[in-house]
Amino acid sequence: MSDNGRVRLMQGNEACAEAALAAGCRFFAGYPITPATEIAEILAARLPQVGGTFIQMEDELGSMAAVIGASIGGKKALTATSGPGFTLKQENIGYAAMTQIPCVIVDVQRGGPSTGLPTLPAQGDVMQARWGTHGDHPIIVLAPSTVRETYDLTVTAFNFAEKFRTPVILLSDAVVGHLREKVVLPDPSEIALVERKAPTVPPGEYTPFRPDADGIPPFVPVGRGYRYHMTSNVYDEGGFPATNNHAVARQLMERLHQKIDQHLDEIVLTDEIATQDAEVLVFAYGASARSGKAAVKLARGQGIKAGLLKAKTLWPFPAAQVKRLGERVKAIIVPEMNTGQLVGEVERAVRRLPVEVLPLNRYDGLMISPEQILAKIKEVM
């Protein structure tokens, strides 16, 4: 691809679709919903061009099931939806978390609850992304705030999914998904791709759910001589149900969490702007991080020492990063386009520190403006 081909004016959703292809995604199943539909529309055209498969399923439940089935078959698989559709996918997202199936789910958030504000932006699915499915389970959730970041984090989502054998959620929003920005796409040769880890033992010795030292069990797609059983009931290392064995149940739950907890340094991604000498910190993600960045710039222009901690990984929550900066600032402002979902996690991270945590919320379908954040900064300075 020429350099010219890499400079593009594109939407967040378009960047997501293109990045999925670059990451090696060869299967998409989905159901139309605003504001995520462009991802499906683009992949309907693009996937068959690279030998991949697109299918529009009868509903969101079937879409998520098909994505998992395709991943079991060895394909990197994607689905994309928005809030109400994300809710319907939760059953099978739980299945993927439990059975350790790599897959990527994009949720381009819109206003809720229920059908709420169907075409307007919000950040109301942060907790749904974490706890939408039933039971305790680990999850990785990434949130882009720009078009280029949508591209990069989509690739990262596939890499994390394959590496950690887990569903990964890309939590975008209607602002980032529909925004058009000039982007310079990375050269395909610069994109590092992760493939799922194959077993090193012959089929007879393969134990499909016994983890290696890194906490992650090797994974072979079906039909390659390694036969196994898979169930989402509590299962032993061989994959068979062990629902009356409390020790197996405890060990499985611990293993599922440890494979993520063991790799926080790699998984938790944040950006910092002007935090070195900051006295007040803005903690933001997604669309709100755009306003957060502008607010910090405005504040600095007025001689106010403000900084931004932008979370690109929402779950696992960047508690260590928040705590480290929380020790140095007077206050942390948390702008969110919801009634306050991640602010509780910020408070938890700094609960023993003498730092004020101030939520700044908007839930009327409009973005939080830089001026609103600046006003809040001035309140605490």
Partner 1 sequence: MASATFKYLRPNRLPHIWCPGCGDGIIVGALVRAIDKLGWSKDETVVVTGIGCSARSNAIIDFNTFQTTHGRALGFATGLKLARPELKVVVVTGDGDGAGIGGNHLIHTARRNVDLTTILVNNSIYGMTGGQYSPLTPTGSFATTAPYGMVEPAFDVCRLVEGAGASFVARGTVYHVRQLEELIGAALTHKGFSFVEVVAQCPTGFGRRNRMKSPAEMMKWQRDHAVTVEAAEKLPPEKLAGKFLTGVLHHEDRPEYTEMYRQVIAQAGQEGGRE
Contact 188, 22 (CB under 8 A): yes
The rounded Cα 120 to chain-centroid distance in angstroms is: 20
Six token digits for residue 302: 């007025």
Residue range at the interface with partner 1 (CB under 8 A); choices 41-49, 106-114, 343-351, 372-380: 41-49
- Beta carbon nearer to partner 1, 74 or 116: 74
Q: Do residues 333 and 377 make contact, with C-beta atoms less than 8 angstroms apart? A: yes
Least spacing, CB of residue 116 vs partner 1, in Å = 24
Least separation in angstroms between CB 298 and partner 1: 41
Q: How far is the CB of 295 from partner 1 (least distance, A)?
A: 39
Interacting residue with partner 1 among 120, 191, 230, 320 (CB under 8 A):
230
For β-strands 76-81 and 103-109, DSSP reports them as: parallel
What part of residues 49-88 is at the interface with partner 1 (CB under 8 A)? 49-51, 53, 55, 57-59, 61-75, 77
74-87 burial code (b ≥16 CB/10 A, e <16): bbbbbbbbbbbbbb
Specify the residue, 93 or 333, whose C-beta has the smaller distance to partner 1.
Answer: 93
DSSP 8-state code for residue 199: P
Q: Which residues contact 319 (CB under 8 A, 6 or more apart)?
A: 345, 348, 349
Number of residues that bind partner 1 (CB under 8 A): 49
The verdict on 32 binding partner 1 (CB under 8 A) reads no
Contacts of 249 (CB under 8 A, 6+ apart): 234, 242, 243
Candidate residues 229, 246, 348, 351; the one interacting with partner 1 per rule CB under 8 A: 229
Give, as ranges, the residues between 125 and 164 that touch partner 1 (CB under 8 A): none
Q: Which of residues 91-110 bind partner 1 (CB under 8 A)?
A: 91-92, 95
Q: In what order do the strands lie in the sheet with 356-361?
A: 270-273, 306-311, 280-284, 331-336, 356-361
Which residue of 34, 46, 319, 344 would you call a contact of partner 1, by CB under 8 A?
A: 46
**140 vs 242, which CB is nearer to partner 1?**
242
DSSP category for residue 241: B
DSSP state of 193: -
Angle formed by the axes of helices 286-301 and 370-380, nearest 10°: 60
Closest CA to 149 of 125, 133, 170, 134: 170
Sign of CA dihedral 308, 313, 316, 320: negative
CA distance 164 to 218: 10
As beta bridge partners, residue 336 has 361
Contacting partner 1 within 3-22 (CB under 8 A): 5
Q: Which of 118, 199, 210, 232 binds partner 1 (CB under 8 A)?
A: 232
Q: Report the residue number, 75 or 362, with the smaller CB distance to partner 1.
A: 75
Nearer to partner 1, 183 or 332 (CB): 183
Range 169-228, binding partner 1 (CB under 8 A): 221-225, 227-228
**Can you tell me whether residue 158 is helix, strand or coil?**
helix
Q: What is the DSSP letter of 111?
A: B
Stretch touching partner 1 by CB under 8 A, among 40-48, 244-252, 294-302, 354-362: 40-48
Q: How far is the CB of 248 from partner 1 (least distance, A)?
A: 15
Q: How far is the CB of 187 from partner 1 (least distance, A)?
A: 13
Contact status: 27 vs partner 1 (CB under 8 A)? yes
Nearer to partner 1 by Cβ, of 116 and 221: the residue is: 221
In the complex, the residues that contact partner 1 under the rule CB under 8 A are 1, 5, 26-27, 29, 45-46, 48-51, 53, 55, 57-59, 61-75, 77, 91-92, 95, 221-225, 227-233, 240-241
